[in-house]
Amino acid sequence: MQDILELHEFFVEGGNQNRSHVLLHISEPDVDEKNKGYFFAVCEINNGSLEQIEHLQQMIDDLESGYYETEDEKDSNAFELTLEFINRRGHHVLEYKNALTNCLVGVLRGHDIFFAYHGNPQVMLFYPGKENLEELDVLKDQTNEQPENQLFSAMLQGTINQGDYFYMATPHVTDYFESDRIKKIVSGRSISQTTSHVQKVLEDLKTEMSFGGIFFHFPKPAEVPKTGKLPKTLDQASSASSINELLNKEKNTATILSPSLFSNWKNNWTERRTNQEEKSKRRKNEKQLQDRQQALLESARETNHRVLETKESTLNIILIGIGRALVTGFLGLGRFLKNSGIFLGRSAIALILLITNKDNKRGEVIKTIKNSFYNKIEQLGELPLISKLIMLLVIILALIFAGSLTYLKIKQNTEAKQVAYNNQIQNITDKKNSADASLLYNDENKAFTLLQEAKQIISTLPQKSATEKQQVQKFNSEIDADLMKLRKIVTVKPTMIVDLQKMKTNPQADKLVALDNWLIAYGANDNSLYRVKNDGQQTELKDHTIIPHFYNASTPKEQDLTIFLSGDNTIAEFIKDTNIFKNADIVFPNNNTKIAALFVYSRKLYLVDEFNNQIYKHSMTATGFDKGVAWLKDKTDLKGAVSMALDGDIFILKKDGTIIKLTSGTKQNFDIQGLDPKLDNPLQIWTYNGINNLYILEPTNKRLVVLDKNGKLLKQYTASEWKNPTGMVVDEAKKTAYVLDDNKIYKFSIN
């Protein structure tokens, strides 16, 4: 049984053809060229002119006819050869700088598909996996770095196997149908039902954009109807027919093709770059020779035809007239060149004499120039009145002509600038609308990217007139409002529970830790420790001069003590029951260490050694902590670490704003998603077992950032009262956060 190809396409015409125009083209060969397979094209032009659309339509027609008329060669097939020829004239389509062109053209020969593309069309392959359909973005790894004057810089080829779905569409289809959604629809419906569904959804949008796409599918034998009847085949379309006529009704397409000789798309998918200088060089001389021979032959035929139809006397008259005209022209040109040479020579000599005053000739030269000028004036005065009027008329007409050229040039430049400005305005609007559409599908990352791109375009808009300034202000206001929603910034009104300056003159506390119901403020340059009841009703001041320089601190879940990292990598303990400090013994696995952060979890002390790029885990002893063991198993870079937190996994915050997640000593993938602006010199990260989120304090933008444990932004808190927040404590159970800023402790609610 021969393979069956199901071919279906969809097309929706938008409400504004000037803004978006889609060309969809599918044709099959006649009986004599059946081995050539199907030719197809899916193209979209945004903000294109009618002339550009006509150029692109003609190019598609020429590519189709050239492909079916060209024979394969030893190392290049007919499609590649035709593509090289089309590339020589592709600049006619690309010379419209204010328009955006996305185009894909190709052929399907049996199971083999060859295509080339420009811009960003969507090309997907859905193929059977172990349980469900898998997807492959065919253009994902393509560089698409195309020369400005070359329409197609690469040809790709691959194989469509039985059970595969090959799908291509114009870029704006992805605004409403992501690849994952297409895959789900195809998995549960036939190709005919899928295209009908996509067509119906896009039509119901009633947008200004046009959409188009094509599906190829080779069904497995089990999918073929038992009646043996094939789906309705595609009617053959003329290469010069209008694309709009092809799209007036839905076509179900199928035909019998040869079986595939390949078994795996990924293994058979290759890229073949077209290089005009290398691939055309071997045929260039032959092609030029053929063109010259053809031109000579046509010229000879035309001459013979005219000789037969024209009388000999008429021909002689024409030849004599041409000869006289040539002689007159050459004589006139000779006189002009001679007079010009004499004038330039005399002028050069006069200029040299004026500059050098050789033999005191400068005065004579000046006198000669004056006499020549007066002679011309006299000759002009002696002219008849009619000659003077004619001369005046010529001068006026020359001025009018020069003025007209200048006016037209200025008008063209003005219109070009207006078109470019309108395109920028439309581009901003398109990106904002696409961002709104992405938000409907909860794709916040894509929406954020589109809004940032729109913001960048707004920065390039002119602001010379009041209208232009108002337009920029309007766009900025709208985009900023959308970005604020995506940034999830909440401005709180915090309550100050204590001012440390009332406890001690010139305090220098910059860190905050909690112990039971007390908040402890401390600093590396302050030998006092400030204890404040979390309701602000009670305060205590403790001196720790005997153990100076507290850099970091952590309290275990049991809330019975707080561990401090002090100068020279020593550890101190503050015991809640005795309310005293004491040194804690500790030994490190390496002699030279630089402890950057610590955290107590499950009665174990974890330390980040930035110098040795290692994390140590120490168990408690009667006098402090044991020697500890190396916990990190891979070579994760810990340089720049400023803070760490544990919930079973370890999260390390670095000064550059990155967060490292480690599980069982091995680094895991962790990316911050949706946060804007990015973290800039953050100071502290905190979480714990049973805590839902990650909390990060960043002074630069005066904010407390809340992420889920997959890195997705949940909320950002800021306050106008904050100047440089440097310490935080979060009580997630009570939905309360405390921030130390400028020696003041603030309290506010979190949701």
Query: What DSSP letter does each residue of 626-640 carry, written as one string?
Result: ---EE---S----TT
| CATH number assigned to the domain covering 405-486 | 1.20.58
How large is the angle between the packed helices 466-487 and 385-440, nearest 10 degrees?
Answer: 10
- Return the amino acid letter for 390: I
Residues 410 and 418: their CA atoms lie apart, in Å, by: 12
Q: pLDDT over 90 for what percent of the chain?
A: 50
Each residue of 114-128: pLDDT tens digit?
999 988 999 999 999
Nearest Cα neighbor of 121 from 23, 200, 190, 239 is 23
The confidence score (pLDDT) of residue 266 equals: 40
pLDDT at 234 over 50: no
Lowest-confidence segment of 73-77, 700-704, 730-734 by average pLDDT: 73-77
Distance of CA 209 to the CA centre of its chain: 20
Beta bridge partners of 107: 39, 114
Classify burial at 97, counting beta carbons within 10 Å of its beta carbon; exposed 0-12, middle 13-18, buried 19 or more.
exposed
Mean pLDDT, the chain, whole residue set = 83
| CATH number assigned to the domain covering 495-749 | 2.120.10.30
Nearest Cα neighbor of 211 from 441, 20, 2, 439 is 20
Instruction: Please state the rounded mean pLDDT for residues 271-276.
Output: 39
Distance of CA 331 to the CA centre of its chain: 63
For domain 3-274, the question of CATH label 3.40.50.10800 is answered with: no
Residues 602 and 618: their CA atoms lie apart, in Å, by: 11
pLDDT at 751 over 90: no
DSSP 34: G
The confidence score (pLDDT) of residue 336 equals: 83
Residues 615 and 697: their CA atoms lie apart, in Å, by: 22
Tell me the pairing of strands 100-109 and 133-137.
Answer: unpaired
pTM of the model: 0.48
Instruction: Please state the rounded mean pLDDT for residues 15-42.
Output: 86
> CA of 569: how far to CAs of 14, 564, 566, 588, in Å?
69, 10, 6, 10
Give the start-to-end residue ranges of the domains of the chain: 3-274, 312-382, 405-486, 495-749
Which residues fall within 8 angstroms of residue 494, CB to CB, at 6 or more apart? 719, 721, 722, 739, 746, 747, 748
pLDDT at 224 over 70: no
Order of strands across the sheet that contains 595-601:
595-601, 604-609, 614-619, 629-630
Residues 565 and 683: their CA atoms lie apart, in Å, by: 16
Each residue of 663-678: pLDDT tens digit?
999 999 999 988 988 9
Q: Are 602 and 558 in contact (CB under 8 A)?
A: no
Q: Are 254 and 116 in contact (CB under 8 A)?
A: no
pLDDT at 11 over 50: yes
Q: Are 208 and 15 in contact (CB under 8 A)?
A: yes
The answer for 702, left when phi > 0, alpha when psi is -120 to 50, beta otherwise, is: left
Q: Is the backbone peptide bond immediately before 219 cis, with ω within 30 degrees of 0?
A: no
Each residue of 398-450: pLDDT tens digit?
899 888 889 998 988 888 988 998 999 999 999 888 888 887 877 888 888 89
Q: pLDDT over 70 for what percent of the chain?
A: 86
Q: Are 589 and 629 in contact (CB under 8 A)?
A: yes
Q: Give all strands (DSSP E) within 119-233, no chain letters.
A: 122-128, 133-137, 154-159, 165-169, 211-217
Q: Three-state SS across 415-441?
A: HHHHHHHHHHHHHHHHHHHHHHHHHHC
> CA of 748: how far to CAs of 191, 226, 491, 720, 723, in Å?
56, 70, 11, 13, 16
Q: Categorize the per-residue pLDDT at 143 as very low, low, confident or very high, splitting at 50, 70 and 90.
A: low
At which residue do the structure tokens 């337009």 appear? 471
